[in-house]
Amino acid sequence: MSDKPGNQTPNTQDVSETELRKMKVDELRKEAKEEHIAGASGMRKEELVKEVAGARQEGANRGRNADTGEEDAKDLGAGPDGGKIRYGDESSKSLKYSQEITSTEEEPEREGRSLATTHHEVIRQWAEERDGVPATVDGTEHGDHLGVLRIDFRDKDANLREVNWREWFKTFDQRRLNFIYQEQRSDGTQSNFFRLENPEREDA
């Protein structure tokens, strides 16, 4: 039996570091972003190969263990509006001038660009790249319904209570909210700016 060329990631036939090494650095960085790998922009090619291969292996393991009930491990998809912005009488000027993002493949037109989406997986990826988790403001609940939605970046705000993405997006869609955000500031550094807007009411 002949060995396959190059290093193979253990326990999978789908992830080959040899195949990844054939990719360009920019392609690897794009793959790294899709796999939620932090710090990919500063990695060299070999580091990117190792990280992407490892992330793909973890993804394969999650797929095999999909019946464990780990809902947040799955791709959340686009949501009911396909990622498209929701418009209404109370739409803000910032929404009108924001770049609409309807796919995880889309990139900002320039650094510091204001972006807007309703795409579930885009929002989750953005949050997780910043170590953010879905949350609600404690004490603002309405019966069994979540209160004010937020992303918690693990700061010192003790008023935030973590929830799961399924609950968060259920409320997000019921309230017909838009997610307005930035990927980077105008100086190229990562931005944590976001806000939620209800285009049909003044308050979200």
**pLDDT digits 0-9 by tens, 17-68:** 888 888 888 888 888 777 767 667 778 888 888 888 877 776 554 444 444 3
Q: Which bin fits 163, alpha (ψ -120 to 50), beta or left (φ > 0)?
A: beta
Please check whether residue 26 lies inside any domain of the structure. yes
Residue 38: per-residue pLDDT: 65
**Residue 170 belongs to what domain range?**
74-197
Same domain, 129 and 81: yes
Same domain, 60 and 152: no
Please check whether residue 3 lies inside any domain of the structure. no
Counting the structural domains of the chain, the total is 2
Same domain, 44 and 81: no
Same domain, 153 and 98: yes
Q: Residue 92 carries which side chain, given as an amino acid letter?
A: S
Q: Is-above-0.75 flag for pTM? A: no
Same domain, 153 and 80: yes
pLDDT in tens, the chain (204 residues): 444 444 443 443 345 788 888 888 888 888 877 776 766 777 888 888 888 887 777 655 444 444 433 444 457 788 888 889 888 887 888 888 899 999 999 999 988 899 999 999 999 999 999 999 999 988 888 777 888 999 998 776 668 888 999 999 999 999 999 999 999 998 889 999 999 999 876 544
Residue 26: per-residue pLDDT: 85
Half-sphere exposure of 57 (CA within 13 A, CB side): 15
Q: Which one, of 170, 165, 107, lies nearest residue 144 by Cα?
A: 170
Same domain, 62 and 162: no
Please check whether residue 140 lies inside any domain of the structure. yes
Same domain, 101 and 179: yes
